[in-house]
Amino acid sequence: MARLRISVPGVDTELLARDAAKLLPDATRRQFLRAGASLGALVFLTGCDIVDGRSAETALRVVSGFNDRVQAWLFDPNRLAPTYPESAITRPFRFNAYYREDEAPDVDEDTYRLLIDGLVDDRQPWTLDRLYALPQETQITRLVCVEGWSAIGKWTGTPLREFLRRIGADTRARYVHFTCAEGYSSSIDMATALHPQTQLTFKYDGEILPTKFGFPMRVRIPTKLGFKNPKHVIGLTVLNAYTGGYWEDRGYNWFSGL
């Protein structure tokens, strides 16, 4: 394992720049269909209509929606993600976001409130003290990034299903949506929200979550890709309407289950 890790680059400026470039967006994002002199051109030489932007994007997104349903069907609510010993933890654990590390939001712990909305009995906002008082569990699991690299870390917090029970959430609802202090958002299916390893996380590696890993609270979901593990979470909504998310709206597959 140690040998393999060499090929996974650590945090460096070059990588950060590349991650930032990925964000550049709308123009770039539109361009994802432009095949140019690529293999794609070779493939679709005979189907000019197919490469013509919008219809291709629509078709690909329809397939992505189909893949959401296939993954929901494949998802076994009782199947646990592998857990690892302390010795397997990746050190140092990599910072990863669409902004630079020094741009991570500073959340004030005294004024912080977790806002609750949607199909729940109790919408009272949660202070950090009250959240910290919830029963907590620790997991050592692998975080798999949509980019392909992975890292093993140790997260401590409250199972989301326990939290949903306490706020009287309607667990027959389809989605749980999260909003974040920096403007990020993501949403997940209820089956994954109720998975025993899906966690409202307050600590990383035994310490209060540092800013770079999502202070004061992130959602850790070892059955989903990393971008579906939002940091600096300030809002939780239970609902039946599809709300997408920051990256999901930009083209990443919504379900993104592991």
Per-position x/- string for 77-106, each x denoting binding to other proteins as judged by CB under 8 A, each - no binding: --xxxx------------------------
8 binds other proteins, rule: CB under 8 A: yes
Q: Are 241 and 175 in contact (CB under 8 A)?
A: yes
Closer CB to other proteins, 132 or 252, in the complex: 252
Residue closest to 233 by CA, chosen among 252, 255, 216, 213: 216
* 113 closest CA partner among 233, 203, 18, 241: 233
State in angstroms the smallest separation of the CB of 114 from other proteins: 27
Per-residue x/- mask for other proteins, residues 61 to 80, rule CB under 8 A? x-xx--x------xxx--xx
* Helices (H), ranges, 122-232: 128-132, 160-166, 190-193
The label of the residue with tokens 């650590």 reads 10
CA distance 58 to 249: 13
**Residues of this chain, 174-233, that bind other proteins according to CB under 8 A:** 222-223
> What does the angle CA 228 – CA 234 – CA 235 come to, to the nearest 5 degrees?
75
Taking the chain, what is the end-to-end CA distance rounded to the nearest angstrom?
Answer: 20
Residue 39 in contact with other proteins, rule: CB under 8 A: yes
- Is 1 an interacting residue with respect to other proteins (CB under 8 A)? yes
40 near other proteins, judged by CB under 8 A? yes
Q: What is the spatial distance between Cα 122 and Cα 154, in angstroms, rounded to a whole number?
A: 30
Cβ nearer to other proteins, comparing 210 with 251? 251
Q: Is residue 43 close enough to count as binding other proteins by CB under 8 A?
A: yes
Among 92, 135, 148, 206, binds other proteins (CB under 8 A): 148
Judged by the rule CB under 8 A, the positions of this chain that interact with other proteins are 1, 4-5, 7-9, 22, 28-29, 31-40, 42-43, 59-61, 63-64, 67, 74-76, 79-82, 142, 144-150, 222-223, 247, 250-253, 257-258
